[in-house]
A and B are shown apart, each in its own frame.
Chain A
């Protein structure tokens, strides 16, 4: 089955800095790569996703990049704000294009004012 590795497990930045979270996946048949944000005491919430026919996608201060050859994908957050502090999960869909996500272990992002 799909295996998703996520790094780093913890990321601490100053407000205004950029943050980058990286993930790798194992199944070359995966086609869908969502990112979820989990705030304290809440369930994860989708913030952005990318499909395998696209190399990059942006939405305001967040962007995702995908390298299918290397099986890498990354989340970039620019001009970080304290409200960006949360746990971020990357995911890749299970083989066969099922859209059922297998999640990485999560990155705890802390943005210091």
Chain B
């Protein structure tokens, strides 16, 4: 398997613009997670899905952030409008469930810079 695939790897945008980050999880994985990584706050869980249904979005910082998972092979995270403080590396991760292992498989991340 190719692993978790994220795009774009790098995004530079101006304040106020809409940003869309994309994720393709590992086939067969039932859970999908969006994390944000910054120096100040470390790795923060934003939202996670189980079988395409959002389970916990309490980590989404504010209404400017939204995430969807229209099918088992795709999710996106949108920021509208973007602000400089949204600059971070955003990771998507997937998991096959937790019956025998709790392992999360991370993508390589999308580095977002908002000017």
Contact = CB atoms under 8 A, between A and B. Distances in A.
A44 B106 contact: yes
B42 A104 contact: yes
B87 to A, nearest CB: 17
Contact of B106 (A32, A41, A45): A45
Interface in A73-94: 89, 93
B61 interface: no
A103 B106 contact: no
Given A100-B45, A102-B45, A106-B42, A41 B102 contact: no
B55 to A, nearest CB: 9
A44 B104 CA distance: 9
Contacts of A36: 104
Contact of B109 (A43, A100, A103): A43
19 contacts: A32-B102, A34-B102, A42-B108, A43-B107, A43-B108, A44-B106, A45-B106, A46-B103, A46-B104, A49-B102, A93-B102, A98-B98, A99-B98, A99-B102, A100-B56, A101-B102, A102-B45, A104-B42, A106-B42
- Counting from the closest, the 3 A-B pairs by CB-CB distance are A43-B106, A99-B98, A99-B102
Interface of B: 4, 33, 42-43, 45, 48, 56, 91, 93, 98, 101-104, 106-109
